[in-house]
Structure 1
Amino acid sequence: MTGSLSPSKGRPLWHGRTLAVLGIVLLAFSLRSAVASLSPVVDLIAADFPVPPVVLGLIGAAPPVCYAVFGLATPWLEQRLGLERLTVLASALITAGLVARGFAVDSVTLIAATALVFAGVGAGNILLPPLVKKYFPDRLGLMMTVYSVAMATSTFLPPLVAVPVADAAGWRISLAEWAVFAVASMIPWIVLMLRDKSRVVERAKRDETLQDPGEDVSSPVASLPSRGDQEFESVTGPVAVAPADSRILHRLPRLPLAWAMTFVFGVSASMAYVSFGWLPQVIADVGGVSAAEAGFLLGVFSVMALPCSLVVPGLTVKFAWATPMLLLTSVVTGSIGLLGLVLAPQAFLYGWVVLYGLTGIMFPMSLALLSIRARTHESAVALSGFVQSLGYAFAAVFPILFGVLHGATGGWQVPLLMMVALLVAAVPAGVMIARPMTVEDAWTRRHGKW
């Protein structure tokens, strides 16, 4: 049984949409590379100016906080600027922040530049699902896979090259070089907007030239597009800005479906940010390994996102049974991995980390659901903003709480068991989001006409 809410067949991915493909992939790559490129060179930065632990803590907490704040603002801005224009603005913020981070002279300017980066990333996170919804309604699963793979690749690639580049050219170049991808991500959207504007002007001139002076311009026949127009629109897809309906933003908080999606997304983000902040130290302590090996095991945890990104989006879009099965797999494997670190860490250390890394299933699954649980890209913008902003705000709590519990108990058992409980708590929400309905359907069932 299929659970897709979009057509399963359509025109080839690249047919008339090459610029949109490139724009989405480059934007997706920029979102994660901007985040993952800083932590590997912090020690080198500290050699030039002091970077106190409190600053590192603020930088570590900045991503989910900025994602939450700017995630809430993005749907409002999209209503006024449009999807493509706001995408260009988000990429411009990322570019400016990355370059400014390379010119940082103290910890204050480093934090300010990092906040600018994450402002753009926070908006970009919200915009990607509706961009896919708008330009690829017939290829949702494939495009969600493509951009999830781009995000997964840009998560583990920067740590691999950051230090070698910093050793060769300095940490400033190592940080600023990723701005190249952010600049490149703006070009396809700018070209699409310019092309669309020029064709609208040309069409208006042509209609004015061909129109008969005695023709009734109010006639429905006179307003129909020509066959050439229809062929153009069927190939390129819609490019013109369509503002989101503000009513959607006010209706989502009244839908249990939207809250269930938010909770699952928040659990996924919590697993990631707790791991990025604490997993190396946990592994070094309970596994009895060196700091270098613990860092390598964090890389193993991160790499698990790549196979998940290849498989999960397509399954989520195509099959109704995929969402509950994928969530159950993530919860079971993640819980086993965490419990292994609690009960017998040294017996199967690498295996426990790999199993825990499969919690990465939830992230691409959540992104795919943002596209198929809304009928239009306007609804997808609002749903994406609601789910990601509140989900990241939820996730920002757990890295701090994890550290507080460790300090209070003097060990890692209680914090790790807290993460197990959080995974299990996601199961009821997962049952709700597995139902193949859109937010529009959910509203109609509970409140009447959308």
Structure 2
Amino acid sequence: MSALTLRAAVTAFSPLAERIGADIGYGTAVVGIFGMLPTAMFGVAGLCTPMLVRRFGLERTVLIAMLLAGAGSLVRVFMANTAELLVFSGVALLGMGVGNVVIPPLVKRYFADQLAAISSLYIVMVQLSTVIPAFVAVPLADGHGWRISMGVWALVGFAAAVPWLVVLRARRGRDLVDTTALPAEPAAAAGKVWRSPVAWGMAGMFGMTSLTTYAMFAWLPMILSDAGASAGFGGSMVGLFALMGLIPALGAPTVVSRMRNPFPVVVGCMVLFATAFVGLLVAPMSVPLLWVVLLGLGPSTFPMALTLINLRTRTPRGSAALSGFTQGVGYAIACTGPLMFGMLHDWTGGWTAPFALLFVALGVLLAGAWQACKPRMLEDSW
């Protein structure tokens, strides 16, 4: 339930952006700000969540995250101006960003002997929370208005808070802050993440995957439109791109957990990415389904990175520290992807320079994965 909350505020809004703008009065520039807001708030959450975990523990932190996600998603639909909509969208996204960080260490804490299976489950739920709101947003808005279409997803956030209330009640009086193998100075220990090649490798792997993926979510329809496709076809290809993410979500955690060093899988993902980029650049409408299928399989490095957060740490505290650093730095980098891709297109009038940017991102991703995939633990490398 928590994982099903983690993308709903993003993809419930995107298909309705123009309709909402026409209602409350904002233009295309503000749509760009809304486009950058998710990764920006996820980055803030990634850097701040380890402090919340040290203060409140994993369970209370994820409860706070679900309540923020639900409250922000609900309150924003009652707003009548752009600034208020942005603020409360930010609240919802901050809650989802905190959830992004704390779910991997919670998996490690409660299911250390089933990391692959439970990681697959929650990553599939994250993918569904990306796909389902996008597909139902417009039909719901047509039938009941955009406020109902967006506000209904607040119920998922509130529902996801209920199991954590049960867990907290069951564990009342017991220490909810993990103290296993903690150094004497927890704050200093968390700071050591910044000096670990494992952490920087994870951040590069995760950040470049997210940058590339969000750039494609934002610009794939226009790439196809410039090649002669209809707006409806471009939208359906974005849906296919998102749906393809379910395949690696199901399989990647198991594959990664069974390999001592899964770097060869990353190389395979880069081949898929590169083939799709060349196809979309040179002949986008020759076999667009093939290009989009390959493009959707390339980000298999996303579930790989989430799984490696647990496989490369010894304790839930280490997992929380690595998760926060990976997602904080990664999403901070990723939020520049759609913007830079679009700016390069505007400056050059074509798609060659924007795709060159993505090839550079693939190089950084490979370098990061080389460090992240090595069979060693975070706690041994700081």
Q: Do they superpose with TM above 0.5?
A: yes
- CA shift, 1:174, in A, is 0.6
CA change 1:178–1:82 in 2 (3 A) is: same
Matching residue of 1:168: 143
Matching residue of 1:21: none
Determine whether 1:315 maps to 2:255. yes
Identity of aligned residues (%): 36
Alpha-carbon distance in 1 for matches of 2:89, 2:293: 30
Matching residue of 1:98: 73
Aligned-residue Cα RMSD (Å) equals 1.4
Determine whether 1:326 maps to 2:265. yes
CA contact (8 A) 2:53 2:177 kept: no
Matching residue of 2:277: 338
- 1:51-71 Cα offsets, whole Å, 9 max, x none, are 222211111000111111121
Q: Secondary structure at the match of 1:307?
A: helix
CA contact (8 A) 1:271 1:359 kept: no
CA contact (8 A) 1:258 1:383 kept: yes
Alpha-carbon distance in 2 for matches of 1:59, 1:100: 17
AA aligned opposite 2:224 = I
Determine whether 1:378 maps to 2:317. yes
Q: Quick one: which of 175, 178, 185 aligns to 1:242? A: 178
Determine whether 1:257 maps to 2:198. yes
Matching residue of 1:306: 246
AA aligned opposite 1:274 = A
Determine whether 1:404 maps to 2:343. yes
Q: Quick one: which of 120, 145, 162 aligns to 1:145? A: 120
- In structure 1, the gaps of 5 or more residues are 1-25, 201-238, 444-450
- CA shift, 1:296, in A, is 0.7
Q: Secondary structure at the match of 2:74?
A: helix
- 1:45-103 Cα offsets, whole Å, 9 max, x none, are 23422122221111100011111112111101111111111111111110111001211
AA aligned opposite 2:212 = M
Determine whether 1:293 maps to 2:211. no
Matching residue of 2:374: 435
Alpha-carbon distance in 1 for matches of 2:354, 2:115: 37
Matching residue of 1:349: 288
CA contact (8 A) 1:339 1:417 kept: no
Alpha-carbon distance in 2 for matches of 1:434, 1:192: 34
- CA shift, 1:42, in A, is 1.9
- CA shift, 1:306, in A, is 0.4
- 1:347-366 Cα offsets, whole Å, 9 max, x none, are 22221111111122011000
Q: Secondary structure at the match of 1:289?
A: coil
Off by >4 Å, runs of 4+ in structure 1: none
Task: Report the structure number with the largest CA radius of gyration.
Answer: 1
Matching residue of 2:60: 85
- 1:400-446 Cα offsets, whole Å, 9 max, x none, are 11111111110112101221231133223222222121111223xxx
- Which piece of structure 1 moves more, 173-182 or 43-52? 43-52
Equivalenced residues, count: 377
Matching residue of 1:270: 211
- Which piece of structure 1 moves more, 240-249 or 95-104? 240-249
- CA shift, 1:196, in A, is 1.4
Alpha-carbon distance in 2 for matches of 1:391, 1:85: 24
Matching residue of 1:210: none
Alpha-carbon distance in 1 for matches of 2:99, 2:352: 36
AA aligned opposite 1:242 = D
Matching residue of 1:367: 306
CA contact (8 A) 2:209 2:365 kept: no
CA contact (8 A) 1:98 1:178 kept: yes
Matching residue of 1:67: 42
- In structure 2, the gaps of 5 or more residues are none
Alpha-carbon distance in 1 for matches of 2:93, 2:167: 25
Q: Secondary structure at the match of 1:375?
A: coil
Instruction: Give the alignment's TM-score, normalised by structure 1.
Output: 0.81
